Structure 1
Amino acid sequence: MYQILGVFGLFFTQLIHMPNIRNFSIIAHIDHGKSTLADRLIQHTGMVGEREFRDQLLDTMDIERERGITIKSNTITLPYKAKDGEQYALNLIDTPGHVDFSYEVSRALASCEGVLLVVDASQGVQAQTLANLYLAMEHDLAIIPVINKIDLPSADVNMVKEQIDQELGLDPELAILCSAKEGIGIEAVLDAIVAQIPPPQGDRGRPLSALIFDAYYDPYRGVIVSFRVFDGVLKAGDLVRFMFHNAVYKVEEVGLFRLQRQPSPELAAGMVGYLIAGIKTVADTRVGDTITLDANPAAAPLPGFKEVKPVVFSSLYPVASDDYQSLAEALEKYKLNDAALVYTKDSSAALGQGFRCGFLGLLHLDIVQERLEREYNQSLIMTTPSVRYKFQLTDGSEAAIDNPQFYPDPVRIQKAFEPFIRAALIIPERYMGAVMKLCLERRGVNSTFSYPSPGRIEITIELPLAEVVFDFYDRLKTVTQGYGSFDYELIDYRESDLVKLDILVNSEKVDALSTIVFKDKAREWGVRICDRLKEEIPRQQFKIAIQGAVGGKIISRSTISAFRKDVTAKCYGGDITRKRKLLEKQKKGKKRMKMVGNIMIPQSAFVAVLRSETED
């Protein structure tokens, strides 16, 4: 099978003309069957035989298979012979399936002319379905609705068609009914791609202009850049310039994406493929950047490029301080493949040397932590995630702080600002009370409601990002029994009353446990952290006070009782003063011990503080 495809691929670029190319993507809410539909399309076009097939063919990481999500987008060119007898090249540009990677999704969509919008026949239209639809409409793409999972006993096709009409504003009669799992309706999907998605526009005679929508690191070839050519032609041996970095590289190889990379003599306007040019790290490329020829550059870069900035921050420390160098090497290797991760050196009196890392969101944080542990055998401690706050100081300057250790002197702070998001929640009507209570607990404001279909409510509400990053999504799923869906976008910074909460153990500050919190919630946080630490820190021969403090004011406290030896056991009688004398002597000893004793905070205590946000 592979040998036949290889021979076919060598002549593919010469045989397929621009009118016979279709560039499309599949977008959907999480778990609506996007990866399964891609599998069926690949199988149906003969790209893989029964023996070589495996589920989630385009998902290459174990973590993607286990969680059923797409983290790293992939691309494949599908050969398809339509009913009119013409041979078509269908470029499937797969996209990540989570809000953390929305910028990568937007760049992938900018490389397409149309999308398949997949809706689950049992769950209907969800929050991310709407968000993805708006993204597709922004890029003026042809949208083909696909109702998936029609084989399920709980499928309600009429209900979903009504939602497609009322909530999405698309023609429900054009929706294709399919079951990706059972292979029903796949031919109809392929025919709709050919019929309804327009061919790409472009001129191979103009200067080269190509959009980078993905990149990954190959240990043998360097960075493999995925791109879409809008104008011009690219061949091996060309000198190309990446317009954002203004860096020049010599192209070693260009080609198409099959199940393996398929080298090609050239890639012309309208085509999607890859290039290899000896690029050392993924950080040397930028998703959304424009590729052009160094000798004959394009007049201007393609629109839409922006620098992706982290929004969630946390510190990583090795469990054993001796493993610091090993963690540094692991992060360096990981960074080759993930340009979105940013990190700098950090240190803590309690945890030693580590790294302060910035992430695109909580899922990104979770993935980085899990991949470091799995692929690089790192044992990690992660501090409580925080967001980036802004402070306007009395001298007129502005400070952006993402690490509580660098919180400015309160005397110098004139105003404090925190990031806000606009969240869209779609829930069944019966859960409205519980969801609104959750949103108001998290300081939600400016809520609006719409009723897209009977029994369903869409809530749009503005929330502080700090209130969402910990456990908001988990709590939403809990109070809606799994039916709630959630999507958000960052909007702006707003003035807020922020304070730094310090945790003191035996009157010593533990810098790794400090957090920046909203003033009215400081006591609630302090009580929670103190109670958690009380459960985790082992008892000593003296009392241990665990305190939460804002500035010099103690706002919460838990006390770990001391072990007490019964020093009066040898007194079988006699005067009470004899017993009192022994107890006083013991008391002085414990006081002296408290002054010189060191409290070893176990690693589980730091993990427990983080867990308290998701399990309380």
Structure 2
Amino acid sequence: MSIERTRNFSIIAHIDHGKTTLSDRLLEFTKTISQREQQAQLLDAMDLERERGITIKAHPVCMFYKAKDGLEYKLNLLDTPGHVDFSYEVSRSLAACEGALLLIDASQGVEAQTVANLNLAMQQDLHVIPVINKVDLPSADIDKCKRQLEDILQLPSDEAVPASAKMGIGIEDILEAIVAYMPPPKDPADGYVRASVFDSIFDPYRGVVSYVRVVSGTIVRGQKVRMMSTGLDYEIKDVGIFRPKMTACEKLEPGDVGYLIANVKSTADVKIGDTITESRRPSPEPLPGFKEIHPLVFSGIYPVSTDDFEALKLAVGKLQINDAAFTFMAESSAALGFGFRCGFLGLLHMEIVQERLRREFNMDVISTYPSVIYEVRKTDGTEMLVDNPTFLPSANEIDEIREPMVRVNIMIPNDYIGDMMQLVMDKRGQVNNTETLDDRRVLLHTVIPLNEILVDFNDKLKSITRGYGSMDYEHAGTQAAELVKMDILIAGDPVDAFSCIVHRSKAESRGRQLCQKLKEVIPQQLFVVAIQAAIGGKVIARESISALRKDVTAKCYGGDISRKRKLLEKQKEGKKKMKAIGKVNIPQEAFIEVLKTN
């Protein structure tokens, strides 16, 4: 089919605004799937996506649509995630498109992630068609949505298409708008073969499957191609399109979105954002890649059994092919053995990766408390990056510690503005300014340390605003702060796995919390065990586990009291000796329980 009749587009929206339901209806309307294959959330292939009702991976699919002008068009759709933690998936998908459908829930209106995803589309210079979804709901307010489109998003409201993906209302109007308004792909007719890799998966039988958007030239089976980032040449074994399952075809032409399988066996040879060109006549320069992704949250992942380290290494390598935002490097811990220091885009991303390791690779893993990267300037003027408290220099060597900050945009109903500002201040953040969106909602522009929003900020935001608040964040540089390393001593010995970097003002409460938790999970010994939280040499919190006591006087029935005293004195000496040489064995459960305290 000619490039003039090809349209590549994405669906972008805030989480739960109906992207996946709309993609289901588009597949039905264009008869891409038969009645027998129909099911809800068809493009959400992962069981995790179905269980949680969220999209984690972008899913490409090719549809053919006969428009009202009598011509048949090829529509390549990429359904994208809505959660802020998967914004990298969205930006990669948008790089393979010329247009985007911006979905807005008619009852909820514009949300924080709607604005963030629209900005991603604008950066790629895409044509955006607004769609007001869920117009069949009793609480739908179409006029309000149109006002927000013009006031907040600066999009013309007369182009907005009213629809209901669930009821199938307005689906044909959406398809006609795509054909009429979205531009076809451009073909730089210089004869070079260029294809951009925007995703990939690992197939145990066929090796690495690359998802590509062909920019120029034609890709056919048997062709010799070159990966421009590594310079390695491969022969293409198979090419095809998604309908929505992989369907082999003769060739991929300019503007097509499809897959190719070359004889790539190693997961390290395929880079997301790489350019594929012909090895006989390679392109002089690669296509502009995607922006480098910087992980925001770090956590250690260790196998429960040390024998599984090699299997875990293989599993994280395969997972990284499918999720380019996930990074890892080997590390070891005195308590947990060998494992990996992993970088994630957020806490939900971290949770999903761990769950995928368990389900897809059958790995039992333990993860350490999530942390961020700190910039440390030492007294001798040298700079270093620290993502693990173990590597933090001693206090007398540190001149300054800078922590990463994030710019958080919080959209909330007016009634909760006081409580929300209090939460931001509790998290050591500041509200720069507030913006009134309409008569019911405000947008808070805040700057908060990344470390403070890691664990429970989103949960607290949802509970304060009764579920109506939404947020998105972006990196905002670093800022000097009064941070200290807090060690946990058990029977006088520091345990690396429990160390953490905290703000001085929160050190005492965090120390008490950890000590109380450890008191519950460490079993009693035959001597008193002291659990202490310390900063440098100063103990700031303490709990004691009382000793197990054997009743040595049980055999003394009657007789002189001095017999009992003699036995008790002997026991006391034994306990003293044991305290000097005894070691506390910390069970694995203790490490896991401590990770749950926030």
TM-score (norm 2): 0.94
Structural mapping, 1:85-484, within 5 Å: 85-445=70-430, 447-484=432-469
Which amino acid in structure 1 is aligned with residue 60 of structure 2?
T
2:466 match: secondary structure: coil
Q: Secondary structure at the match of 2:510?
A: helix
Q: In structure 2, the residue corresponding to 1:562 is in which secondary structure?
A: coil
**Identity in percent:** 53
Q: CA deviation at 1:303?
A: 2.6
Once the two structures are TM-superposed, the CA of residue 583 in structure 1 deviates from its matched residue by: 4.8
Farther-moved stretch of structure 1 (127-136 vs 531-540) = 531-540
Local SS of the residue matching 1:599: coil
Structure 2 CA distance for aligned equivalents of residues 340 and 131 of structure 1? 18
| CA deviation after TM superposition for structure 1 residue 532, in Å | 1.2
1:147-172 Cα distance to aligned partner (Å, 9 max, x none): 21223333332332232232222222
Structure 2 residue 521 is the aligned partner of structure 1 residue 536:
yes
Q: 2:532 aligns with which of 531, 547, 552?
A: 547
Change (3 A) 1:107 1:345: closer
Q: Which moved more, 1:593-602 or 1:470-479?
A: 593-602
Which ranges in structure 1 are unaligned for 5 or more consecutive residues? 1-15
Tell me how far apart the structure 1 counterparts of residues 352 and 508 of structure 2 sit (CA, whole Å): 32
Distance (Å, rounded) in 2 between the aligned partners of 1:337 and 1:196: 33
Q: 1:71 to 1:240 in 2, by over 3 A?
A: same
Take 1:384 and 1:118, find their aligned partners in 2: how far apart are those partners?
36
Matched, 1:41 2:40: no
Cα deviation for residue 315 of structure 1 reads: 1.6
Structure 2 residue runs of 5 or longer lacking an equivalent are: none
Aligned to 2:511, which of 515, 520, 526?
526
Distance 1:357 1:315 in 2: 6
| Letter aligned with residue 426 of structure 1 | M
1:282–1:337: 8 Å Cα contact kept in structure 2? no
Counterpart Cα distance in 2 of 1:293 and 1:332: 27
Q: Which amino acid aligns with 2:357?
A: L
**8 Å CA contact retained: 2:267, 2:317:** no
Alpha carbons of 1:139 and 1:327: their partners in 2 closer, same or farther (altered >3 Å)?
A: closer
Moved more, 217-226 or 313-322: 313-322
What is the count of residue pairs matched by the alignment? 598
Contact 2:221 2:236 survives alignment (8 Å): yes
Q: Counterpart of 1:230 in 2: which secondary structure?
A: strand
For 1:342, the aligned partner's letter is T
Q: Is the 8 A contact 1:347 1:354 kept in 2?
A: yes
Aligned counterpart, 1:560:
545
SS in 2 for 1:103: helix
Contact 1:215 1:282 in 2 (8 A): no
Deviation, 1:558, is 1.4
What letter corresponds to residue 88 of structure 2 in structure 1? Answer: Y
Match for residue 9 of structure 1? none
**Aligned residues of 1:500 and 1:515 also touching (Cα < 8 A):** yes
Shift of 1:281: 4.1
Alignment-mate amino acid for residue 333 of structure 2: S
What corresponds to 1:13 in structure 2? none
SS at 2:597 equivalent: helix
- What do the CA deviations read for 1:39-79 (whole angstroms, capped 9, x no partner)? 11011100111211122111111111111122121111100
Q: Deviations over 1:547-603 (max 9, x none)?
A: 111122111111122234455677889998776665544433322222233323233
Cα-Cα RMSD? 2.3
- Asked whether the 8 Å contact 1:121–1:156 carries over to 2, the reply is yes
Q: Distance in 1 between matches of 2:99 and 2:311?
A: 45
Q: Please say which of residues 198-207 and 138-147 is displaced more in the overlay.
A: 198-207
